[in-house]
């Protein structure tokens, strides 16, 4: 009995430690309030001075300051007895509130949207129909809808004949994934395409169809999208149209039909033993075995479709045959895809008379940037480069997108159904430009220099600016997490990781101290990040809970484009592993550029 009483007392003691202490403003915040207040009150006029001088909002007017007051009144943050100004408590709550975000507010889409779509990074999905892993998960329109609602602008569909050969399914071929009908996917794309953004949706098709089913697809597409479908006037586009000119339009991108017929011929030859096997996973014998298990062949699915594609103009007889069998399908293809014969030198040739899309696997890109880095940058100034995950990512994981972005690749295709740091970077990049799914590439990726030179991300460059970051404190976990989530018997021990993802010279991660037993950690630490290419830099923020015996617990993350950060003291909302915003969890930070 005594033992039970002792246990009860210990548990009661621990339970008391879960009580939340009131958040106190850091000393620097209190000093700022003293500087911009009189008799303990910050008036509208003094708030305007604070916005201009400390928050670096040079154009902030008295009306802007009054709007802050009005917002605080609506949110019931201002005490009714202090209508003339902010108390320290109200000022602190304002700084820590959603109405004080880290990125430029209310600017929406602020970049020039009238350039060719090849001038933009585009939010791109890979195998957009999969609900989970690449081997056995269900195929559905649900992940497509979710992706569109997050602002994804490129949806990938793998299209195959159904079991009876009279209809078209979407599935990951030669795996155990269960199919979904193409028509259902198309109808869901139409319904949800423009809920998050009005800018065009590109549908990339991995085509495994016979000509008669291609004709059926053409009918489905035209019936579903109607006048909203963009179809070019000529066989090839000389230049891509702009996102602005294609608002609320749909674009089809795939290889022209004759390339499919040629690819099938090569595939058939391979089955007969005349095609040399390729280890496209670059992971040795285990990679070969896994790829074989997945696809029933020793080739990755995307490489089966694109690696051995012959040149688009190779065979006029095949061209005539396709014109007879599925001309209506070919006419729908606005962005032509394909590699052509030969190696990288041929793939990356820039044709002054037409533009196209090239696809490279993750390992292909990693090799190509070593030998053809500048050629890739030059190619992407006019043409579109799509990069997709390597075949052994059967768990739907992703790769580092910065390698592709720093070389100008527009369509960095990601598995959106998973989570992880790579996906956090992707989500962070496309928080820019109002979250419309199109982010203008920096000028140095679009233009050649005076001596026809192009940007080289591996060259050491001088520091262009330095980002100074102060991590004051965090709060909100007490409300968004179960009180025993991090530790069964005591409050959490939080630390923050702060860093930059960008070109190699700028990439770094740093860490605050760990604060024990505190739901409201007050780190109050400063960091500096010298940046050589701030235009491509993303600020990474993670909070973890230290665990001595097991893996540290995840406490939230955010990723923000440095180019859109607001100077001053800002409330940074944190997100879950999958990118869903927490209701309450935030970190109070200060950003300065020097």
Instruction: Write the DSSP symbol of residue 178.
Output: B
Q: How far apart are the first and last CA of the chain?
A: 66
Of residues 390, 382, 384, the one with CA closest to residue 365? 390
Distance CA 342, CA 309 (A): 10
Verify whether residue 82 is a known catalytic residue. no
The pLDDT, as a whole number, for residue 550 is 86
Tokens of 497: 């990781």
Q: What is the pLDDT of residue 79?
A: 62
Q: What distances in angstroms separate CA 109 from CA 105, 116, 120, 298, 559, one per listed residue? A: 11, 16, 13, 45, 19
Per-residue model confidence (pLDDT) at position 279: 32
DSSP of 232-279: -SSSS-SSPPPTGGGTT-EEEEE--HHHHHHHHHHHHHHHTT-SPP--
DSSP tag of 434: G
* 418 CB neighbour count, 10 Å cutoff: 18
CB 441 within 8 A of CB 562: no
3-state SS string for 320-383 = HHHHHHCHHHHHHEEEEECCCCCCHHHHCCCCCCCCCEEEEEHHHHHHHHHHHHHHHHHHCCCC
Residues 131-155 as b/e (b if ≥16 CB within 10 A, e otherwise) read bebbbebebbbebbbbbbebbbbbb
What is the sign of the dihedral through the CA atoms of 221, 226, 230 and 235? positive
pLDDT confidence of residue 105:
67
pLDDT at 310: 28
Which residue in 119, 126, 336, 407 is the catalytic one?
126
Q: CA-CA distance, 146 to 128, in Å (whole number)?
A: 10
Which is nearest to 337 in space by CA: 128, 85, 156, 86? 156
For residue 123, the model assigns a pLDDT of 98
Chain center to CA of 14: 41
pLDDT confidence of residue 258:
67
| 524 conformational bin, left if phi > 0, alpha if psi -120 to 50, beta if neither | left
Q: DSSP letter string over 54-83?
A: TS--TT--HHHHHHHHHHHHHTT-S-GGGT
Cβ neighbours, 10 Å, residue 444? 16
Dihedral sign computed on CA atoms, order 170, 172, 176, 177: negative
pLDDT value for 315: 36
Give the model's pLDDT for residue 418: 81
Tell me which DSSP letter residue 179 carries: P
Instruction: Work out whether strand 201-207 and strand 250-254 pair parallel, antiparallel, or are unpaired.
Output: parallel
Surface-to-core class of residue 384, CB atoms within 10 Å of its CB (0-12 exposed, 13-18 middle, 19+ buried): buried
Question: Is 97 a residue of the active site?
Answer: no
Specify the pTM.
Answer: 0.86
C-alpha dihedral, 280 to 395 to 511 to 517, nearest 10°: -170
Q: Got the DSSP string for 126-164? A: SSTTBSS-TTTPBB-SHHHHHHHHTT--EEEEEEEE-TT
DSSP 554: E
Residue 301: per-residue pLDDT: 36
* pLDDT tens for the 594 residues of the chain, in order: 444 444 443 444 444 454 555 578 899 999 999 999 999 999 999 999 999 999 999 999 999 999 999 888 888 776 645 667 899 999 999 999 999 999 976 668 999 999 999 999 999 999 999 999 999 999 999 999 999 999 999 999 999 999 999 999 999 998 999 999 999 999 999 999 999 999 999 999 999 999 999 999 999 999 999 999 999 988 889 999 999 999 999 999 999 886 544 544 554 444 444 333 333 333 332 233 333 333 332 233 333 232 223 233 333 334 444 445 578 999 999 999 998 788 999 999 999 999 999 999 999 999 999 999 999 999 999 999 999 999 999 999 999 999 999 999 999 999 998 889 999 999 999 999 999 999 999 999 999 888 889 999 889 899 999 999 999 999 999 999 999 999 888 999 999 999 999 999 999 999 999 999 999 999 999 999 999 999 999 999 999 999 988 899 999 999 999 999 999 999 999 999 999 999 999 999 999 999
Q: Which of 172, 336, 372, 407 is catalytic?
A: 172
How many CA atoms lie within 13 Å of 279's alpha carbon, on the beta-carbon side?
9
**Sign of the CA dihedral 379, 389, 194, 442?**
negative
Please give the C-alpha separations between residue 302 and each of 34, 298, 376, in angstroms, as whole numbers: 62, 12, 20
Per-residue exposure over 548-585, b if at least 16 CB sit within 10 Å of its own CB, e if not: eeeeebebbbbbbbbbbbbbbbbbbbbbeeebeebeeb
């Amino acid at each position: 009995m005594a033992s039970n009483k002792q246990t009860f007392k210990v548990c009661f003691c621990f339970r008391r430690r879960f009580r939340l202490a009131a958040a106190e403003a850091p000393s620097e915040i209190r000093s700022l309030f003293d500087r911009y207040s009189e008799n303990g009150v910050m008036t509208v006029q003094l708030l305007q001075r604070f916005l201009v001088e400390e928050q670096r909002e040079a154009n902030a007017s008295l009306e802007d300051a009054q709007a802050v007051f009005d917002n605080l009144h609506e949110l019931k943050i201002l005490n009714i007895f202090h209508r003339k100004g902010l108390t320290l408590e109200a000022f602190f709550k304002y700084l820590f509130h959603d109405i004080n975000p880290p990125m430029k507010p209310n600017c929406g889409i602020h970049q020039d949207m009238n350039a060719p779509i090849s001038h933009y990074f585009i939010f791109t999905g890979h195998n957009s129909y999969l609900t989970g892993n690449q081997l056995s998960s269900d195929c559905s329109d649900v992940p497509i809808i979710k992706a569109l609602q997050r602002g994804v602008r490129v949806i990938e569909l793998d299209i195959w004949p159904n079991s009876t050969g009279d209809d078209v399914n979407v599935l990951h071929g030669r795996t155990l994934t269960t199919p979904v009908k193409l028509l259902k996917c198309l109808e869901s794309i139409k319904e949800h395409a423009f809920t998050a953004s009005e800018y065009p949706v590109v549908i990339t098709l991995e085509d495994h169809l016979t000509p008669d089913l291609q004709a059926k697809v053409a009918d489905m597409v035209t019936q579903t999208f109607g006048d909203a479908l963009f179809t070019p006037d000529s066989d090839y586009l000389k230049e891509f149209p702009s996102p602005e000119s294609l608002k609320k339009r749909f674009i089809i991108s795939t290889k022209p039909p004759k390339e499919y017929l040629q690819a099938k011929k090569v595939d058939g030859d391979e089955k007969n033993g005349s095609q040399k096997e390729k280890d496209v996973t670059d992971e040795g014998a285990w990679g070969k075995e896994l790829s074989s298990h997945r696809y029933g062949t020793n080739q990755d699915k995307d490489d089966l479709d694109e690696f051995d594609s012959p040149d688009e103009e190779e065979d006029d007889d095949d061209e005539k045959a396709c014109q007879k069998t599925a001309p209506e399908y070919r006419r729908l293809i606005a962005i032509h895809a394909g590699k052509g014969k030969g190696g990288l030198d041929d793939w990356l040739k820039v044709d002054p008379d037409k533009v196209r899309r090239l696809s490279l696997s993750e390992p292909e890109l990693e090799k190509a940037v070593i030998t053809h880095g500048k050629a890739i940058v030059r190619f992407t100034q006019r043409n579109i480069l799509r990069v997709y995950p390597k075949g052994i990512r059967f768990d739907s994981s992703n790769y580092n997108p910065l390698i592709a972005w720093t070389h100008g690749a527009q369509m960095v295709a990601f598995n959106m159904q998973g989570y992880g740091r790579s996906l956090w970077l992707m989500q962070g990049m496309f928080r820019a430009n109002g979250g419309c799914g199109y982010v203008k590439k920096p000028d140095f990726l679009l233009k050649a220099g005076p001596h026809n030179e192009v940007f080289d991300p591996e060259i050491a460059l001088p520091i262009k600016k330095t980002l100074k970051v102060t991590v004051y404190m965090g709060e909100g976990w007490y409300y968004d997490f179960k009180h025993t989530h991090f530790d069964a018997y005591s409050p959490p021990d939080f630390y923050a990781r702060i860093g930059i993802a960008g070109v190699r010279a700028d990439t770094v991660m740093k860490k605050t101290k760990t604060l024990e037993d505190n739901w409201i950690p007050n780190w109050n630490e400063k960091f500096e990040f010298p940046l050589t290419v701030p235009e491509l830099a993303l600020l990474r923020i993670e909070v973890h809970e230290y665990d001595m015996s097991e893996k540290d617990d995840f406490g939230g993350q955010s990723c923000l484009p440095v180019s859109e950060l607001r100077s001053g003291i800002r409330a940074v909302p944190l997100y879950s592993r999958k990118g869903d915003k927490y209701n309450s969890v935030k970190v109070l930070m200060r950003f300065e550029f020097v």
